[in-house]
Structure 1
């Protein structure tokens, strides 16, 4: 389906930065590159299940929540290309239900990160506000961005860091990979927002820098916390409480 439905989209992650890409994408430049970003992060989370899926639970949940949000927005507002979005949702739903992890899909690992949870909470406020703004713009039928589903997809881009980041912070199996998938869309969006401040979807230089700094901090804490448990970076879950919950 990726080959059939998205033959050129993912390439815009690179070509969008060129002069030819700018001329081709025009006023939709940031939106199309943003869509390519959220689709790429979703696919990475889903495709990761092909190798040791029981150790990739966090990214499975992240991918499912991203495609759920995008599908719900596309269908609810009647915009974009539901004929392309819905099949991915169906496949991802099947992957979740038939996942070899079984009931352990709902079980956290041996530790969690208070620091990462704090970063998710901090990011949630501006990201949810961004989602609300994008969805409100979707109702403007005279706006080509709205009818093409760009605002819904940008809302999905904002949800991706929260989806992957929450499960990474809570310590679900595969939290390290999920932490990178949470940071990547934030960092890439930050770069676009700084580079294309006049484009629809940009939040300007200040928020772009903030997004990049958040992404760096999230990955740095996730990687450094692997050294061992600490009160703030990573805290072990006591087995007795773990079983009770």
Structure 2
């Protein structure tokens, strides 16, 4: 490799890095406005006029999926992205879950929105400094986190199936929030699917996995808390299930932090003496 070629490669690397941060900032802002803004709007409308089409449980579930899982995974890329590829992975998994739920549930808006956002996120993956790690998982599986994810899979699958049936029975599908009632059911199914899959991603301990662990725990706790307060509205699994979701989310984060401490602690004197 000539010196001129090496200089060009370095220059291209700097340009690509700048482009990555600019695009990550744009997507973070766009996704944040979309998911947070829509949640604030729909919750506000419900508080003024309690209509049957949306409610705070499904609205906060939409927030948990869109803001806590998808957007948060992109926001953390704005600092030291080389060590946080799990954040991009969780955003893509969240969008894939939304698309699959939209497809199975027969809801055009979640499906179309997912596809558009996936294209935008794919550009970010192509620019990512650690893009070669995107299709890889961690080298060490956390058995406790994997067990918690598998434990959650049974009720999450049952809930997702129920929501998808209701999505298909909710009437016509359309754009621009005019059919939000059915769309919310598909989005709740996507949330349930994403929590389980991302729990396993966190268990695999890919670079930046703690972001995913906290996102999973927070998403479960937010949705569960809303279900405790409003157990009778559509999309809510009830108070008991809501309490279990909160407990599971808190436990997942606590176990993740313990796992992090265990893997970060330096070996003791006895261990060093034996090495």
| Alignment TM-score > 0.5, same fold | yes
CA distance in 1 between partners of 2:224 and 2:32 (Å): 28
- Given that 1:111 and 1:171 are in contact with CA atoms closer than 8 Å, whether structure 2 keeps it comes out as yes
Once the 2 structures are TM-superposed, how far is the Cα of residue 214 of structure 1 from its aligned partner? 0.5
- Given that 2:163 and 2:185 are in contact with CA atoms closer than 8 Å, whether structure 1 keeps it comes out as yes
List aligned pairs for 1:42-57, cutoff 5 A. 42-57=70-85
Match of 1:119 among 132, 148, 153: 148
User: Is 1:173 matched with 2:202?
Assistant: no
Q: Which runs of 5+ in 1 are unaligned?
A: 231-245
For residues 75-109 of structure 1, give each alpha carbon's deviation from its aligned partner in whole angstroms, at most 9, with x where no partner exists. Answer: 55143365544321211222234432132223344
Q: Which has the higher helix share?
A: 2
Determine the structure 1 residue equivalent to 2:245: 211
Determine the structure 1 residue equivalent to 2:61: 34
Determine the structure 2 residue equivalent to 1:91: 120
- Given that 1:66 and 1:163 are in contact with CA atoms closer than 8 Å, whether structure 2 keeps it comes out as no
CA distance in 2 between partners of 1:110 and 1:84 (Å): 33
Determine the structure 1 residue equivalent to 2:86: 58
CA distance in 1 between partners of 2:50 and 2:35 (Å): 16
Once the 2 structures are TM-superposed, how far is the Cα of residue 202 of structure 1 from its aligned partner? 0.8
Query: Which is worse superposed, 73-82 or 165-174?
Result: 73-82
**TM-score, with length taken from structure 2:** 0.72
Q: How many residues are matched?
A: 226
- Given that 1:10 and 1:40 are in contact with CA atoms closer than 8 Å, whether structure 2 keeps it comes out as no
Determine the structure 2 residue equivalent to 1:234: none
Matched residue of 2:134: which SS? helix
Query: Which is worse superposed, 51-60 or 217-226?
Result: 51-60
CA distance in 1 between partners of 2:103 and 2:161 (Å): 17
User: Is 1:225 matched with 2:253?
Assistant: no
